[in-house]
Amino acid sequence: MSMADLLAKQDLKKLSISRGQELTGEVVGITESEVVFDLGTKSEGILPKKDFLDEQLKSLKVGDKLPVFVTLVENEAGQVLLSLRKATPKGMQNPKWDKFQAAFKEGKTFSGKGVEVNKGGLIVEVGEVRGFLPASQVSLSQASALDDLVGKDVTVTVIEIDPSQNRLIFSQKANVSEEVKEKLGKIKLGDKVTGKVAAVLPFGIFVTLSDGVEGLVHVSEISWEKVEDPAKLFKVGDEVSGQVISVDSNTNRVNLSIKQTKDDPFLAVANKYKKDDIVKGVVSKVSSIGVFITLDDSLEGLIHSSKIEQGTIYEVGQKITALVDNIDSLKRRIALVPFITTTKGLIYK
């Protein structure tokens, strides 16, 4: 492409944007805390991961296009700050939200209509206001067939509301018998339970417990190792055991963890490493955060970008030697620093 073509292409980029403006952004990167968008402008857009629900993040990938709103035209790094929802100016709250705020406090239900299936759930319209019903908050009988709810009446309750950000999150409160509600009330955090898999979805598995109570194991609670597809591990009818980590009164459901019934293998294996140990591994991913290294025992190490000398290039599949900086048990990761030797055989970092 000639220089003239490049300049012409650049001229097609939007020269100016304004706060509150809606744009279509294409995901070009996903970091630990942010999603990076190409907005068709001269600056990239940044959207915090906390704006997304877990189910949305699970299915989000580079190349996806989403409607986003500008919250700050330019930060100190020259980036555009974004939101998934258009902010409401202070003092101009829409009175249509009043009934939802009242219902949130009182636990009342609404009858809405399914509009469209979105990332991780269903858009539901109640009156003239649209909210989001996460797949994890859908009743068990309908969780695996969200498309069937489009155009149908849906009974929901409000579990999260923020009018200033146009954020309205629904739950499809389960209609259960008084007997099941009584059993649910007796379940305590930490209880060990067993049940059978009733549905397998990308974000986790639904489990019917032996006493008739419904449970959900989120994908992050299935195993200590990352699970990409629960369907490869479970099928309907499988018997599973788990530990109660919360009781959700909105859905009359318990949230379960399978992994917490087992010891974390990372802790046992990581104990063999200590600071300044020399380790060998293979580069598995290179990102803005740093270089991810697969070590022996399939453990993950990370050389943070701040530890990498400018100009050094790493490639996926490259074999490297590094030094252990510290063990991060919370992130189940070993922090590494580059291992460098001088021509005199000296080691430094």
pTM of the prediction?
0.57
pLDDT at 89: 52
Spell out the domains of the chain, with CATH numbers in brackets: 11-83 (2.40.50.140), 95-171 (2.40.50.140), 178-261 (2.40.50.140), 271-348 (2.40.50.140)
- What whole-number distance in Å separates Cα of residue 170 and Cα of residue 161? 9
pLDDT at 77: 67
What DSSP string runs through 279-316?
Answer: EEEEEEEE-SSEEEEEEGGG-EEEEEGGGSPTT----T
Distance (Å) of CA 279 to CA 267, 282, 329: 17, 10, 18
47 neighbors 23 (Cβ within 8 angstroms): no
CA atoms 181, 187, 189, 193: torsion sign: negative
Structure tokens that stand for 339 in this block? 């291992």
Distance (Å) of CA 181 to CA 50, 185, 207, 213: 32, 6, 16, 8
- What whole-number distance in Å separates Cα of residue 143 and Cα of residue 134? 10
Element housing 248 (H / E): strand 239-248
Q: From the first residue on, what is the mean pLDDT of each consecutive set of 10 residues in the chain (349 residues)?
A: 42 60 87 86 83 78 87 75 69 68 82 82 86 82 75 86 80 75 87 91 87 87 88 92 88 89 84 88 88 84 89 91 87 85 48
pLDDT at 263: 87
pLDDT at 238: 94
User: For the chain, what's the residue count?
Assistant: 349
Q: Long-range pairs for 60-63 at CB < 8 Å and ≥24 separation?
A: 60/27, 60/30, 60/35, 60/119, 61/27, 61/30, 62/27, 62/28, 62/29, 62/30, 63/26, 63/27
Rg (CA), the chain: 24
Nearest residue to 347 via CA among 323, 327, 314: 323
